[in-house]
């Protein structure tokens, strides 16, 4: 079995342009995407990283990022994010895709080995750790399930809502939601970048905890930091995620 991280990349956004390219570490020029790629490389279960880049001209810089980090990339339709995930998986012969959104730097990987082992041993189509703060989770999706979603779904299912078809048709897929530690069941914390306020918080966490892209993230330190710095947390925890990036 081959598990591959495919990161969908594009600049267009109505709220904050070029979210993956925003700096977490302003002084050293470490972007959100830089940090995420280097963190994923620390996860030995992940066999490869592929950037799924929108073919619109404004996104050409992502090819340079792929070269900088010695990872592969594919290009595809700007709106058909699902097709880019599938194309990236096929490029490297993946059986399963690890999906994290490219504007969410602080992923909870603590249970990756456990979740992936169960996923493979039980022929699961979709696995996730539920209950984590917005932006902290990863998804493991069987490539065959992604292809079924694209073939049987509509345009809305091929958008950035890549797993919407799976959750609207749960009778067609085997879905497993793993519980997270009680300490991390925090709907009052927001760890993704969609608005300028989100970026302020992500930078404050990075600087306050003196994070490094090459050191494994201690997720508990982020929770503790926001608890002892309520004014930082208040900058973005009021933002409504709307439809969100995951369905329960």
Task: Please give the model's pTM, rounded to 2 decimal places.
Answer: 0.93
Confidence check: pLDDT of 246 > 50: no
For residues 127 and 139, give the distance between their C-alpha atoms in angstroms, rounded to a whole number.
6
On the CB side of 215, CA atoms within 13 Å amount to: 7
pLDDT at res. 13: 63
How high is the pLDDT of residue 16? 76
Calpha distance 21→10 (Å, rounded): 9
Mean pLDDT value across the chain: 94
In tens, the pLDDT along 117-126 reads 999 999 999 9
Is the pLDDT at 245 greater than 70, yes or no?
Answer: no
What is 22-65 written as a DSSP string? SEEETTTTEEHHHHHHHHHTT-TT--EEEEEEE-SGGGTHHHHH
């Amino acid at each position: 079995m081959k598990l591959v991280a495919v990161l969908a990349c594009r600049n267009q956004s109505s709220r904050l342009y070029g979210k993956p390219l925003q700096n977490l570490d302003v002084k050293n020029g470490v972007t959100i995407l830089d940090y995420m790629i280097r963190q994923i490389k620390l996860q030995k279960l992940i066999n490869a990283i592929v950037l799924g880049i929108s073919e619109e001209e404004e996104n050409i810089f992502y090819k340079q990022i792929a070269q900088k980090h010695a990872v592969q990339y594919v290009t595809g339709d700007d709106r058909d994010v699902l097709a880019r995930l599938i194309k990236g998986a096929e490029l490297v012969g993946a059986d399963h895709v690890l999906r994290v959104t490219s504007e969410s730097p602080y992923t909870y990987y603590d249970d990756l080995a456990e979740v992936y082992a169960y996923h493979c041993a039980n022929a699961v189509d979709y696995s996730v750790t539920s209950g984590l703060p917005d932006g902290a989770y990863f998804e493991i999706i069987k490539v065959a399930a992604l292809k079924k979603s694209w073939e049987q779904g509509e345009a809305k299912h091929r958008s950035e809502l890549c797993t919407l078809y799976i959750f609207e048709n749960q009778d067609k897929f085997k879905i497993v939601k793993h519980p997270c530690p009680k300490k991390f069941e925090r709907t009052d914390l927001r760890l993704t970048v969609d608005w300028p306020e989100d970026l302020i918080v992500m930078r404050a966490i990075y600087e306050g905890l003196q994070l490094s892209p090459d050191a494994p993230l201690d997720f508990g330190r982020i929770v503790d930091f926001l608890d002892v710095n309520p004014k930082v947390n208040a900058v973005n925890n009021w933002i409504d995620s709307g439809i969100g990036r995951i369905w329960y």
